Structure 1
Amino acid sequence: MTIITTTENKKVYFASDQHLGAPNAEASFSREKKFVAWLDHIKKDAEALFLLGDLFDFWFEYKTVVPKGFVRVLGKLAALRDSGIPIYFFVGNHDLWMRDYFEKELNIPVYHAPQIFIINNKRLLIGHGDGLGPEDKGYKRMKKVFTFPLFKWLFRWLHPDIGVQLGQYMSVKNKLISGEEDAKFLGEENEWLALYCKRKLETKHYDYFVFGHRHLPLEINLQKDSTYVNLGDWIKYFTYGEFSEDTLRLKEF
């Protein structure tokens, strides 16, 4: 458990689902520049920054190779981290094959499961959100395959020119990212991440649950003093979370 106490006039920021690289290089480039502009915008008062997964539409780390590109966002994250701003990265379902590149090159810790953080005495459960809750059963089965050590070992033996191209092709086939399909709100009683949060509240109190993955900016009150927040995305909504004093709010850039 990590404890963060903000200093005067400082804030904690959250963002998720940039999907850089999709649906094509031209569209991705314009979104990358906008996200970098947001990083520049928050650096003046950021106590910490949380990136909740799917920063890249595809990411696979070989022992000595990572996908080329994204130099602007990687350089900006390095600059923020070098300036002393803590950054926490949670892998998503599109960049779940991340290993230690961020940790070694950028000094950014990488998490593969939801984590508890205490921010200004508020308890937050933070993660990407994929595979949680009672639904998403097809993806849960697929994730078990993709994270199976033998599968990763076999994929690593593909030449990067083949492996990366194949991974990018499969990722862009997701209609949600290609722009052919919009995420639909299922209603509070059917949103599986909200149901997951309610089950977690049965055993422990959390002031906020903060997730991405759904590509919808959502704020759902679970109890009088507990809220589920979904950060939306940087494809359609360009939304982010801002934690100031003791309150988390969704904002648009």
Structure 2
Amino acid sequence: MNKNKKVFFASDQHFGAPTPERSFPREQKFVKWLDEVKEEAEAIFLLGDLFDFWFEYKTVVPKGFIRVLGKLAEIRDSGIPIYFFVGNHDLWMFDYFEKELNIPVYHDNQEFTFNGKTFLIGHGDGKGPGDLGYKRMKKVFTNPFSKWLFRWLHPDLGVRLAQYLSVKNKLISGEEDVKFLGEENEWLVQYTKRKLETKHYDYFVFGHRHLPLVINVGKNSQYINLGDWISYFTYGVFDGEKFELKKY
């Protein structure tokens, strides 16, 4: 890492939910954050669910989000690396970010090393024991035949239907409080501990749970959940020596 530079992490913005009008102030706030951190950024990691729904037709992408997309393009064009990890709400992302914004898109966890510290980074959905219903559903949604069928829906119908079903999730509509379940019941905690049985990581950084969490999961190893930009407006920052979870 360059001197005085930092690596920034954010997740679960869910722009577009519960309505574009109510989402807009959150999008403005996130763009302001991006504008501020770019001055110190060695790299920026976005860990999924940037949008509450995203599907790329061959010639069409969902309407809206122009401010955040424009800011990401500006930052990337300035030479700052941005990495995007697909979440469970934007899992139908294909090559739009890569072709239009020059931002690599990852569909599973990836390893990175900064200043000798090893990171395992991902959205976090479908990891660890349990959540079998979601894991089965994800297999259906990511099946090429399912994506082919959905593409045959007119975008006006397909996007509207998907947005309706997504917002029906009380977690995203803001009507449900997410609570810490205890280490023994947090699937991502169990997942990180199992990963440590075969390889050491200094930091496990995930989203998905909508809870800002920092938990020691092994000797010199931490699990960090980034929270969200719905209730907490939290983000992670690594300065080359230590990782901190901060509120904007």
Fold match (TM-score > 0.5): yes
- SS where residue 183 of structure 1 aligns? coil
Alignment correspondent of 1:3: none
Task: Name stretches of at least 5 consecutive residues in structure 1 with no aligned partner.
Answer: 1-5
Alignment correspondent of 1:13: 8
The Cα of 1:190 is off from its aligned counterpart by: 1.1
Instruction: State yes or no: 1:184 paired with 2:206.
Output: no
Alignment equivalent of 1:95, drawn from 84, 90, 96: 90
- Root mean square deviation, CA, Å: 0.6
- The CA distance in 2 between the partners of 1:20 and 1:99, in whole Å, is 18
The Cα of 1:66 is off from its aligned counterpart by: 0.2
Deviations, residues 76-109 of structure 1 (Å, cap 9, x unaligned):
0000000110000000000000000000000000
Aligned residues: 248
Confirm or deny: 8 A CA contact 2:13 2:49 kept in the other structure. Answer: yes
- SS where residue 129 of structure 1 aligns? coil
Alignment equivalent of 1:41, drawn from 21, 36, 43: 36
The Cα of 1:250 is off from its aligned counterpart by: 0.2
Alignment correspondent of 1:216: 211
The Cα of 1:252 is off from its aligned counterpart by: 0.3
The Cα of 1:178 is off from its aligned counterpart by: 0.5
Confirm or deny: 8 A CA contact 2:214 2:222 kept in the other structure. Answer: yes
Task: Name stretches of at least 5 consecutive residues in structure 2 with no aligned partner.
Answer: none
Q: Identity over the aligned pairs, expressed in percent?
A: 77
Alignment correspondent of 1:205: 200
Alignment equivalent of 1:116, drawn from 105, 111, 116: 111
The Cα of 1:25 is off from its aligned counterpart by: 1.4
- SS where residue 88 of structure 1 aligns? strand
Deviations, residues 86-133 of structure 1 (Å, cap 9, x unaligned):
000000000000000000000000000000001111110000000000
Alignment correspondent of 1:77: 72
- The CA distance in 1 between the partners of 2:159 and 2:76, in whole Å, is 27
Moved over 3 A (4+): none
The Cα of 1:243 is off from its aligned counterpart by: 0.4
Alignment equivalent of 1:245, drawn from 218, 235, 240: 240
Instruction: State yes or no: 1:135 paired with 2:135.
Output: no
Alignment correspondent of 1:172: 167
- SS where residue 180 of structure 1 aligns? coil
Confirm or deny: 8 A CA contact 2:196 2:218 kept in the other structure. Answer: no
- SS where residue 108 of structure 1 aligns? coil
- The CA distance in 1 between the partners of 2:169 and 2:115, in whole Å, is 38
Alignment equivalent of 2:52, drawn from 57, 82, 91: 57
